[in-house]
């Protein structure tokens, strides 16, 4: 274990020295070489005052320590990203629930539209939209109790025609006992069939839709 820690420290220090040289044109080792050259070439009968030089060296050392801290933090973030990637891959084949309003219709089987109402409502309406944002079906849910609920959408439009498979979205709202409009929190649900990464962010794919891994709220065996 000591060998591993030493190797990591050395790598971090090398990274910091290279970063300093790239940004300010000099690192601590370069500065130290100048100091040694000054000592070697000074007049022994009239030595130079090296206190200012040593002060500058100490300041440069502090700067390098700052670079070391930055490099160590970057390595920790990279390790965290790798851990996140491994965790997200483990979701493949499992049924996930995530924040979002997307729904996947496979062309045959009903799609589960999961939601949570903040309060009991009447005159509750479910609206389903296609990929272009056009409403394709409006369902009168009537009275809906507060809490979580699920509507099984058979994939048909308002005229009863079966729609094509793909990604849809939905929204639910109703009126509470005081006459205020309540909007449900909606969820995207389904079996995860893949993982994709975009600019370091992991997305779980569920058929034709994808949700950020960070938005997943529940996972269970399918």
Please tell me which residue, 59 or 180, carries the higher pLDDT value.
Answer: 180
Side by side, which strands form the sheet with 147-153?
A: 147-153, 111-117, 185-191, 94-99, 216-221
Record the tokens describing residue 63, joined without a space.
């700067």
Please tell me which residue, 13 or 169, carries the higher pLDDT value.
Answer: 169
pLDDT computed for residue 63 by the predictor: 65
pLDDT computed for residue 136 by the predictor: 97
Domain map (residue ranges) of the chain: 2-89, 94-221
pLDDT exceeds 80 at position 167? yes
- Distance between CA 86 and CA 192 in Å, rounded? 15
Please tell me which residue, 165 or 72, carries the higher pLDDT value.
Answer: 165
Query: pLDDT per residue over 20-54, tens digit each?
Result: 666 556 666 766 676 677 667 766 666 656 666 66
Query: pLDDT per residue over 91-130, tens digit each?
Result: 888 999 999 999 999 999 999 999 999 999 999 999 999 9
What is the average pLDDT across 5-23?
52
pLDDT exceeds 80 at position 219? yes
Fold entry, domain 94-221: Immunoglobulin-like (2.60.40)
The answer to whether the pTM exceeds 0.85 is no
């Amino acid at each position: 274990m000591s060998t591993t820690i030493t190797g990591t420290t050395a790598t971090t220090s090398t990274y910091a020295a290279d970063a300093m040289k790239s940004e300010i044109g000099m690192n601590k080792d370069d500065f130290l070489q100048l100091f040694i050259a000054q000592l070697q070439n000074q007049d022994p009968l009239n030595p130079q005052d090296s206190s200012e030089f040593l002060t500058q060296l100490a300041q440069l050392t502090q700067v390098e320590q700052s670079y070391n801290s930055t490099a160590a933090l970057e390595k920790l973030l990279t390790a965290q990203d790798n851990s996140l990637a491994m965790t997200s891959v483990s979701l493949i084949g499992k049924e996930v629930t995530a924040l979002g309003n997307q729904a996947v219709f496979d062309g045959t089987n009903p799609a589960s539209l999961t939601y949570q109402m903040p309060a009991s409502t009447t005159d509750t309406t479910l609206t389903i939209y296609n990929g272009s944002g056009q409403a394709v079906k409006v369902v009168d849910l009537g009275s809906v109790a507060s809490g979580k609920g699920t509507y099984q959408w058979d994939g048909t439009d308002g005229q009863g025609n079966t729609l094509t498979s793909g990604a849809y979205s939905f929204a639910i709202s109703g009126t509470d006992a005081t006459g205020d409009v309540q909007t449900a929190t909606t969820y995207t649900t389904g079996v995860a069939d893949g993982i994709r990464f975009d600019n370091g962010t992991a997305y779980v794919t569920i058929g034709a839709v994808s949700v950020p891994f960070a938005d997943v709220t529940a996972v269970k065996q399918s």
